[in-house]
């Protein structure tokens, strides 16, 4: 019995010493062993599909973050949701990641709840919030240390004006500069050399510069009529990405495209809120009409705020040509 009493204190001291040496950061790490796999689908900013090594695919929901919804009725929210999706896609698609499950393994939809660690050790949940593409989502229980990290990341994004917190209008650059700004939300202005279909996309190729605006077929169909972009000056707003080394902006919401020509043969112009078709065709616009079209296309300094006018009124805030203005469009029809 004496030997037993001598061993126990020594063993206890050894355990205590080992516990003291454990880094504090490891106390906040998920308890389960990480799962490894390849990201095969990005559904939105915070949800993706991962093909696990030797196992079936898992639909994964990131813990502690919440990106805007792609099906939101508000156009600006859909835009931010699309940009969040593109950010996650550009960082994770076809890359190998580690999934670190949280205290609750699955949500009510059966999705695996996890933190994602990239090959270079980056915790992507935190990065998504810090870069401004998601809010810290603290509703459900998870590690308190992680809650603090995510709240701090959101505060940093808000202070820096990143992602969701970035104010419009976005900085405008020329197409030749786009390759120097991958990962930034910008407006790229370019003259369209040609428009053509490639796979499931319509491509607007810049003239004299390496840059494309890529429009998925389903989005292209939502634009009014059969629009000829060739020879036109275009502004494409979005996340600048590199596709096979070539800079591009992916278009997921019509509001991302703006044609800065003030007038064309079909009398269609582009507003920040969407495509606009005037109810009256003008063969040669009068000065009053040209002023209205400039305001509609965003070229006038006096362009009204999108928030002006009564809420819910489509087209509210547009300048009125007033009675008796010869040559000015009599009405404006919104086409979302």
Q: Which residues are identified as catalytic?
A: 61, 69, 111
Token pair recorded at residue 332: 């404006």
CA R_g for the chain: 26
Beta-bridged to residue 47, according to DSSP, are 44, 61
3-state secondary structure of 128: helix
Residues 172, 137: contact at Cβ < 8 Å? no
**CA 256 – CA 248 distance, rounded (Å):** 13
**CA 55 – CA 126 distance, rounded (Å):** 27
Q: Cβ neighbours of residue 151 under 8 Å, at least 6 residues apart?
A: 136, 138
Kindly write down the DSSP assignment for every residue of 185-205, as one continuous string: EEEEEEEEEEEEEETTEEEEE
In the numeric block, the tokens 């919104």 are attached to 334
**CA 263 – CA 295 distance, rounded (Å):** 12
Q: Cβ neighbours of residue 34 under 8 Å, at least 6 residues apart?
A: 98, 99, 100, 117
**CA 157 – CA 276 distance, rounded (Å):** 34
Alpha carbon 44 to its chain centroid, in Å, reads: 9
Q: Cβ neighbours of residue 165 under 8 Å, at least 6 residues apart?
A: 132, 157, 158
Token pair recorded at residue 317: 């805030």
Residues 336, 75: contact at Cβ < 8 Å? yes
């Amino acid at each position: 019995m004496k030997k037993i009493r001598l061993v126990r204190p020594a063993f206890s001291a050894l355990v205590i010493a080992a516990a003291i040496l454990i880094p504090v950061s490891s106390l906040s790490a998920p308890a389960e062993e990480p799962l490894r796999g390849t990201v095969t689908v990005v559904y939105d900013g915070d949800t993706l599909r991962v093909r696990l090594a030797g196992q079936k695919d898992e639909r994964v929901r990131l813990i502690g973050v919440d990106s805007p919804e792609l099906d939101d009725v508000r156009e600006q929210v859909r835009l931010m949701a699309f940009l969040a999706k593109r950010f996650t896609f550009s960082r994770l698609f076809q890359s190998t990641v580690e999934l670190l499950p949280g205290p609750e393994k699955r949500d009510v939809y059966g999705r695996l709840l996890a933190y994602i660690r990239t090959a270079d050790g980056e915790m992507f949940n935190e990065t998504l919030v810090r870069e401004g593409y998601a809010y810290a989502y603290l509703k459900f229980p998870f590690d308190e240390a992680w809650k603090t990290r995510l709240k701090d990341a959101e505060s940093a994004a808000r202070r820096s004006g990143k992602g969701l917190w970035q104010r419009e209008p976005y900085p405008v650059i020329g197409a030749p500069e786009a390759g120097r700004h991958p990962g930034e939300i910008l407006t790229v202005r370019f003259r369209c050399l040609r428009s053509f279909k490639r796979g499931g996309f319509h491509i607007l190729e810049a003239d004299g510069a390496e840059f494309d605006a890529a429009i998925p077929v389903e989005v292209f169909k939502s634009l009014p009529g059969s629009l000829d972009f060739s020879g036109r000056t275009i502004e494409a707003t979005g996340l600048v990405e590199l596709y096979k080394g070539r800079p591009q902006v992916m278009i997921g919401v019509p509001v991302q495209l703006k044609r800065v020509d003030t007038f064309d043969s079909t009398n269609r112009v582009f507003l920040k809120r969407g495509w606009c078709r005037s109810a009256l065709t003008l063969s040669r616009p009068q000065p009053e009409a040209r002023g209205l079209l400039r305001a509609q296309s965003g070229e006038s300094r006096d362009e009204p705020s999108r928030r002006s006018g009564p809420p819910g009124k489509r087209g509210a805030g547009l300048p009125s040509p007033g009675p008796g203005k010869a040559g000015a469009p009599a009405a404006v029809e919104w086409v979302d």
